[in-house]
Amino acid sequence: MNDRQNPRVGVFICGCGGEISSVLDTKALREYAAELPDVVFASTESYPCSKDGQARMQSAIHEHQLERVLVAGCTPRLVRRLFEDTLITAGLDRNFLDVRDIREQCAYVHAKDPKAALQKAYDLLAMGVEHLSATSATHTHEGRVFKKALVIGSELAGLTTALALAEQGIDVVLMEQTDALGGETGALLDQGREKLARNVESVQQHARIETRLHTRLLEVVGQPGEYQVTLDKEGEQDRLTVGAIVVAGGGKFRSLEGERWVDRERVKTLAEYQAELDAAAESKNGFKPQDVVMLLHAADSLEERSLRLNSTLGLKQALHTKKLFPEANVTVLFRDLPLGAEGIDTLMAAREQGVIFFRSHEGHPPTVGEESVDVPDPLTCDSVSIAYDRAVLAMPLVPQENVDAVARMLRLPQDEHGFIVEPRVRLRPGNFVDDGVYVLGSAHQPADLSETLFQAYMTGSRVQRFLDQDSVDIQTPIAVVDAELCTGCGNCVQVCPRLAIRLEEREGVLSLAQVNALRCIGCGNCAVFCPVKAISLPGWDDAAILAQVSAALAPSPKRGKAQQEPRVLALTCEWSAYAAADMSGVQKIEYPAGVRIIPMNCSARFDPDLVLWAFLHGADGVYLGLCHPGDCHYGTGNLYASERVEVLKQQLAEHGFNPDRLHLEYLDGDDGEKFASTITEFVAEMKRLGG
């Protein structure tokens, strides 16, 4: 619900130094705005974003006791943050600002038809005022930050991160499932093993690092900066509070066990061959290979991800073999060798020692026979047989078994191979706090020595910066639960991408959904799933969006005769489709002027009820624009949106309504051409259907 039924709204119309006023009649827009409900002040400005313009805006807010402000000018992506600061300085809530784009979406894109552009601008003003009249204020939420970190996993990445944090005065709990620090070390060589040994010793001696062996993570609750984690050690449970969690668990190389076609006495993995080399170096076995063939290939996407790591390890083993056994024939078969600086040095050293490199033919990988490895010559395509007494296969790195459980507890996404996908912070809306959870090392992706150390130092810096805060606070739209309406069904708990909602018992039969403000990212998915509409999102609640839909489609004598073009409503994710619409304007790519665009914070907020409301109010078609799968700023909002659209289309068809009048389009934020072309095609289809 809005905070006041009849707020005092002020409208500021920007001429943009002629960029807008040369196409649109800004005086007519001001006169129209002054007649809208709740508007008590309207003015035109050449540049309201200038310091003088902001000062005049603040003066008008005080003089006319304005409670809401609408700015009609360029895209909100450019100026919204600036005008939010202006409102805050004047004592208003940042959520009581609305910015409507009459430059890119009217003056630029419809410059050849000023009358249609003006009519569209009228509608945008009406939509903005209605939105402001229905919106509600945000509230500041604050939480403590505990200066303590939990590091999960004690391989090189975890050890290095723990030491980096401890050296900065941060207490660290280092958790390891096995009985010793270090994890899997079979593939490490030379500097890697030395670094690991030094770090293990340093960790054991550091006063700020508490080591927990034979321990697994059992439960995580709480919020950024104040997580309560439950650890289990052989049946004994312990609960502690930490401010940040670092997932640094390692990976393991996939085994060859079960492969009947190989002679396991002569065919080894990189890890197994390393063990043989180690024993030979210490004269602990009679191992003395004569012909070694190393197969550094990637047959699938998983092996491709491990190719750089395996190439680096394989070259080191080839060089090590020649140093131990100078008379041995060592051949490296490869298609590509992605190497860093360290790998290039190893490659040159291996060539000097006589290691033979043979590039295979694309699409024709080598095959391992009983006595030889057969590989087609890339020039002649003739098969070349290379005898071996050791064939060494580069197996891909896969996550440890416990990764799935950790990912579920922390609600971290995993890719198709099981690696944890760290949240893409740069894709997140900038007004949400860091969640204090970090992923690195081979739990995240296969990483060689240099990459592992780089990730560890970088993660240590990020964690330190987060924990250096005295508190985390946020002033942004957060889901609000109406206790009188909530039935405790739990739908919201299941669909929240951030585990920000839980059910709490209350007197009577029904539980109550409670929102953790510091974990909520304001996607609005819970509001759509709530069957009794007990959840709202300030600024993006049903009342605010429905008011805009009604204003966009309502006929008005002030705006002239009813348009002959089909009336199409576009509900657009502000991070993709809305940005693409702006880009269409920047590039001056025309599309039908009958389209009315409503920005949405996320496609998760695409509610079938909004679409039906639009159709009931005369929309000929509804266009839904959203991010591509995997690019959603809020995680999975676009996936839920696409599922809802498919279900709604089926329901529309079952009731005799043409489902083609509802269209979903995936868009990049910079693809103005695609937005213009797809919306134009959709309007043409509405004409064909009789819109």
Kindly report, residue by residue over 167-224, the tens digit of the pLDDT.
Answer: 999 999 999 988 888 875 544 555 677 888 899 999 999 999 999 999 999 999 888 8
Q: Look at 205 and 516; give whichever has higher pLDDT.
A: 205
Q: What is the pLDDT of residue 2?
A: 46
pLDDT at 495 over 70: yes
Q: Look at 343 and 336; give whichever has higher pLDDT.
A: 336
Per-residue confidence band for 561, with pLDDT thresholds at 50, 70 and 90: very low
The span from the CA of 588 to the CA of 590, in Å, is: 6
Q: What is the pLDDT of residue 190?
A: 57
Given a contact cutoff of 8 angstroms between Cβ atoms, the answer to whether 127 and 599 are in contact is no
pLDDT at 636 over 60: yes
Could you report the per-residue pLDDT of 280-329, keeping only the tens digit for each? Answer: 888 777 788 899 999 988 777 778 888 888 888 889 899 999 999 999 99
Give the distance from CA 674 to its chain's centroid: 23
Per-residue confidence band for 111, with pLDDT thresholds at 50, 70 and 90: very high
- DSSP string over 304-365: HHTHHHHHHHHHHHHHHHHHH-TTSEEEEEES-----HHHHHHHHHHHHTT-EEEEPBTTB-
φ/ψ bin of 465: left (φ > 0), alpha (ψ from -120 to 50), beta (otherwise): alpha
Q: Which domains does the chain show, CATH number per domain?
A: 1-138 (3.40.50), 144-252+398-472 (3.50.50.60), 261-395 (3.50.50.60), 478-535 (3.30.70.3270)
pLDDT at 407 over 90: no
By C-alpha distance, which of 653, 637, 517, 656 is closest to 577? Answer: 637
Given a contact cutoff of 8 angstroms between Cβ atoms, the answer to whether 593 and 116 are in contact is yes
Q: Where in 574-629 does DSSP place strands (E)?
A: 595-600, 621-626
Per-residue confidence band for 424, with pLDDT thresholds at 50, 70 and 90: low
pLDDT at 390 over 70: yes
Kind of pairing, strands 397-399 and 251-253? antiparallel
Per-residue confidence band for 558, with pLDDT thresholds at 50, 70 and 90: low
- Residue with token string 């599922």: 643
The span from the CA of 376 to the CA of 359, in Å, is: 9
Q: Which SS3 state, helix, strand or coil, does residue 48 take?
A: coil
Q: What is the pLDDT of residue 436?
A: 87
Q: What is the pLDDT of residue 418?
A: 85
Half-sphere exposure of 419 (CA within 13 A, CB side): 22
Q: What is the pLDDT of residue 576?
A: 94
**Over the chain, what is the mean pLDDT?**
88
The 3-state secondary structure of 613-625, one letter per residue: HHHHCCCCEEEEE
Q: Look at 573 and 341; give whichever has higher pLDDT.
A: 573
Phi and psi for 590 in degrees, rounded to 5?
Answer: -75, 150
Give me the mean pLDDT over the 354-381 stretch. 83
Half-sphere exposure of 254 (CA within 13 A, CB side): 15
Q: What is the pLDDT of residue 1?
A: 42
pLDDT at 428 over 60: no
Q: What is the pLDDT of residue 275?
A: 85
Q: What is the pLDDT of residue 305?
A: 83
Residue 588 CB burial class (10 angstroms; 0-12, 13-18, ≥19): middle
pLDDT at 549 over 50: yes
Give me the mean pLDDT over the 354-377 stretch. 85
Quote the percentage of the chain above a pLDDT of 70.
Answer: 93
In our burial notation (b when 16+ CB lie closer than 10 A, e otherwise), range 166-189 reads: beeebbbbbbbbeeebbbbbebbb
Q: What is the pLDDT of residue 564?
A: 66
Q: What is the pLDDT of residue 246?
A: 94
Given a contact cutoff of 8 angstroms between Cβ atoms, the answer to whether 161 and 440 are in contact is yes
Give me the mean pLDDT over the 71-78 stretch. 94
Lowest mean pLDDT among 10-14, 157-161, 518-522: 518-522
Quote the percentage of the chain above a pLDDT of 90.
Answer: 60
Among 1-10, 489-498, 633-642, 661-670, the range with the most confident prediction by mean pLDDT is: 661-670
The span from the CA of 102 to the CA of 71, in Å, is: 10
Neighbours of 107 (CB within 10 A): 29
By C-alpha distance, which of 558, 560, 550 is closest to 619? Answer: 550
Give me the mean pLDDT over the 664-677 stretch. 96
Q: Look at 531 and 497; give whichever has higher pLDDT.
A: 531
Could you report the per-residue pLDDT of 442-492, keeping only the tens digit for each? Answer: 888 888 788 888 999 999 999 999 999 988 877 668 899 999 999 999 999
Could you report the per-residue pLDDT of 221-276, keeping only the tens digit for each? Answer: 888 889 999 999 988 999 999 999 999 977 888 888 765 566 788 899 888 898 88
pLDDT at 85 over 90: yes
